[in-house]
Amino acid sequence: MIQKKSIYYATAGLLTIIIFASNFLSTDLFKAGYQNFSVWFVLSIFSFACGWLINKTLGYNHGGKVVFSVIVASAFISVLLVSIFSEYFGLSELIVENMILYILRNITLGSMAFFGMVVCEFLLLQREGDSSKNKMEEIRRLMANTHHEAKLIIEDSRLKSEQMLYETQQTIDDMIERKNLIEIRLKEFISAEKELIKKYESDEE
């Protein structure tokens, strides 16, 4: 298992700070004007970037667990902070709706981090898929070239074999022809010898 460097967890710490900082923004995004909404948008972009980096450094499975832990821890700290400093946050009374509201703010930014992780992982998988596709194409090309070379080698071997068979047959035919010629000459020689013997015997009589 690949060990994770401690510096990689700094991104998770930065995400915690971003989520914690959202507690000090007004909940009335659109009533407070565009400036407040712009800050929320920037925090969302930063959360997305943190999720991207966490996926790059810690991996999708381990990084997802880290982001989930950050969301839970931030939500717990936010509830504790709001409960203790309720007057600072402008809450006249601590009701369940206010607690849920602050928790949802943390979950929203945490979800942006998860979204960044998913997009990063999707692009990585797509790149790996393209790389695997290129490798498969290269393997198919090599197999086609190998098949073509094998066919050429087989064809060349067949032609050489036919040439050897033809030359061997020619040699055998020449040997047979020489044998027949020798047999004919030998018969002629024997026939001539017989004629000489007969002529010699008739002269002696």
Find all residues with CB under 8 Å of 136, minimum gap 6, and list them: none
Q: Is the pLDDT of residue 77 over 50?
A: yes
Q: How far is the C-alpha of 154 from the C-alpha of 203, rounded, in Å?
A: 73
Mean pLDDT estimate for the chain:
79
Instruction: Note the pLDDT tens digit of each residue in 145-186.
Output: 888 888 888 888 888 888 888 888 888 888 888 888 888 888
pLDDT band for position 30 (cuts 50, 70, 90): very low
Please, are residues 54 and 11 in contact by the beta-carbon 8 Å criterion?
yes
Phi, psi of 147 (to 5 degrees): -65, -40
Q: Provide the sign of the torsion angle of the four alpha carbons 148, 152, 155, 157, taken in this order.
A: negative
pLDDT attached to residue 1: 39
Instruction: Record the tokens describing residue 5, joined without a space.
Output: 């460097």
Q: How far is the C-alpha of 129 from the C-alpha of 131, rounded, in Å?
A: 5
Phi-psi region of 5 (alpha: psi -120 to 50; beta: other; left: phi over 0): beta
Distances (CA, A) of 108 to 26, 69, 103: 15, 14, 9
Instruction: Note the pLDDT tens digit of each residue in 81-114.
Output: 777 766 666 555 556 666 777 788 888 888 888 8
The pTM assigned to this predicted structure is 0.55
Instruction: Record the tokens describing residue 117, joined without a space.
Output: 């992780």
Please, are residues 119 and 54 in contact by the beta-carbon 8 Å criterion?
no
* Half-sphere exposure for 111 (CA within 13 Å, toward CB): 6
